[in-house]
Amino acid sequence: MTKAAHFQVDSRLASLLGETYSSTEDALKELVDNAWDADATEVSITLPAPNTSDPIVIMDNGTGMTEREVRAEYLFVANDRRSRKGDRTSGKNRLVKGRKGIGKFAGLMAAELMSLQTNARGNTTTITIDKKKLIEAGKDIERVPIDVISTPCNADLCGTVITLSHLNQALNFPMPEKFRELLIHDYGRETDFAIRVNKKPLDIEDLSGPTITHEVTLPGIGPVKLRFTVSDGRKQIKRSGIVVRVAGKSIGKPRFFGLDKSDDFPAKLLGKIYGEIEVDGLANDITADWAAIVDNSKGFDVVKEWVVPHLRAEVKKVYGQEIHLAQARLKQKIQKRLEALPEYKREFADRAIKRILQKFYNESEDRVEPIVSVVLDAMERDEYRAVLENIDEASHTDVAHLAAALEEFGLLETAIMSRQLSQRLNFLDYVDALIADPATLENQVHKAVENSLWMIGTEYSLMSSNKTLRRVVDEYLGQKYKGSDPSDRPDLLLVNNVLSRHLLIEFKRPSHEIGLNDYQQATKYRHEISAHISSQIDVLIIGGTKGATVSAQYKEPGVEIVTYNDILSGARKQLDWLIQELKRS
């Protein structure tokens, strides 16, 4: 039965129809996205050979549409389905890709006629849209008649077939290779959405870039086959990584075998790796639901050691030269600035720039150069430099000029000290918040304090931190430790370079009450280290509160128990005093 229908036009139509696709392949991908939104599990695209009159056909097994849905929804131009049905599909709970309600007409970029045949709930509905008539209608698109043909069909039949005919001869015909490459970025890892282009399923080789295959027989594991591509395109691959297959089944999510946790591997390059590894020998190391590999699998550790060098080597082949050339170009531009830096800063600047180039490997020079420039600006900025140059020049003239230059130095010192005091007060606020949290542990406070020793006293400098007693003595004192328990360690061991006196610090949790056991542990450390150090070792035990049981145990000199609040209070008083003195001066 044939009945007439008309377009219904949303007020957004004027702006939306003004948008264009960058290629025919991009336009056709919109139709594949619609199949995804229709909860299809299979999509077949047939592309014609160049310079033929054959049509483009996109067929899916999705939910399809009834005649009512075609009229009320499909022909409602620019009607965003998200506003009607939400962000996810009703069947498979997929995140909806269609956003603007006009992607269904994307095929008209490539063809003059678009035919839609859709099956749902025992009904087949067919419409044909003529691009020429739409153009002639202009703003009156809702007046264009559309013939809607409705016929009964098998109740189990569902899905949609779109046929694009009378292809636009002014455009190059869509290329299967380019189309597959475009699709694999978004759909290559989907397990319930199979796509075939000219009867060929998506494959690793559809990505732009070299496809590499390595095979080996590993002891205790057996045959292993690694096959992957390092994409040389700009687009990141969705769900990139290497899929582990055991007995033909995919185990868990794609993985990077530790490269994602490596400091020397650019994170952006992870999105360029796409492949799979077949390891049937790991069948006994898979969880019962076949969802993951057992964490402590020795066999998988062996596989990782074999895989990582291959991934690194191939990524370096594709992107290593690009990184090198970018570094060379930028270094040439900034070489004069590097040469002007003091020698001790120059080496650090060079390393910092290399790290920046590695991290931003895929960015243009125009974007990377300002970042490098900021780093160099920070290293060149030395507030003392100009003042000291003035002092040096004044020293060769009269006394008045030298006195004025020294006064300038003093003013600079005061300004810098004021800023430092202000920052230190802010730092104490953060430490205060840290110790107020009952979840804070000893090592976390240790990290906060060990490089800010002005909190406990300026007379000490850091000697070693968080080492076993054996290593403390072996590495820093040049002697052999023979204590009763080498696994014991003090939290912090400091030495005063002038008086050669040492300070041993034992940290406890901010929520911990210091007791007799803590006292005995710290003094035991001192006794064992004293056998190798001739100078005096003072002991400082820091915790949340002082327990009543330990107060009577002060039998040894040079042992002090303090709370974190005591330290913070003392540090604040010292800073406040300095600030007042600076204000008076």
Are 429 and 518 members of one domain? no
Are 187 and 242 members of one domain? no
How far, in Å, are 14, 149, 267, 360 from residue 372 at the CA level? Answer: 45, 65, 19, 11
Residue 341 resides in a domain: no
How far, in Å, are 32, 91, 161 from residue 183 at the CA level? Answer: 9, 22, 19
From 200, 218, 240, give the residue that closes a domain.
200
Least confident of 59-73, 448-462, 562-576: 448-462
Are 30 and 85 members of one domain? yes
Write out the residue range of the structural domain in which residue 70 sits: 2-200
Are 533 and 481 members of one domain? yes
Are 474 and 566 members of one domain? yes
Look at residue 10 in the predicted model and tell me its pLDDT: 46
DSSP 336-373: HHHHHS-HHHHHHHHHHHHHHHHHTTTS-HHHHHHHHH
Residue 342 resides in a domain: no
Are 191 and 88 members of one domain? yes
pLDDT digits (tens, 9 = 90+) for 272-316: 999 999 999 999 999 887 888 988 899 999 999 999 999 988 988
Are 219 and 135 members of one domain? no
Residue 269 resides in a domain: yes
pTM for the full model?
Answer: 0.52
Q: How far apart are alpha carbons 17 and 103 in whole angstroms?
A: 10
Residue 283 resides in a domain: yes
Closest CA to 159 of 117, 115, 119, 125: 119
From 140, 173, 200, give the residue that closes a domain.
200
Asked if residues 124 and 41 have their Cβ atoms less than 8 Å apart, the reply is no
CATH number at residue 91: 3.30.565.10
Q: How many structural domains does the chain have?
A: 4
Are 420 and 515 members of one domain? no
Residue 127 resides in a domain: yes
**Of 400 and 250, the one with more pLDDT:** 250
pLDDT digits (tens, 9 = 90+) for 455-496: 877 665 455 554 555 566 555 555 555 555 555 566 667 665
Asked if residues 155 and 122 have their Cβ atoms less than 8 Å apart, the reply is yes
CB atoms within 10 A of CB 545: 14
Are 176 and 242 members of one domain? no
pLDDT digits (tens, 9 = 90+) for 100-110: 556 777 888 88
Are 512 and 454 members of one domain? yes
pLDDT at residue 242 greater than cutoff 90: yes
Are 191 and 76 members of one domain? yes
Mean pLDDT of 507-515: 89
- Give the confidence band of 244 by pLDDT, cuts at 50, 70, 90: very high
Mean pLDDT of 113-129: 94
Residue 318 resides in a domain: no
From 200, 226, 258, give the residue that closes a domain.
200
CA angle 504–508–510, rounded 5-degree value? 135
CATH number at residue 538: 3.40.1350.10
Q: How far apart are alpha carbons 501 and 167 in whole angstroms?
A: 89
Are 499 and 515 members of one domain? yes
pLDDT digits (tens, 9 = 90+) for 15-40: 334 346 778 888 899 899 999 999 99
Residue 348 resides in a domain: no
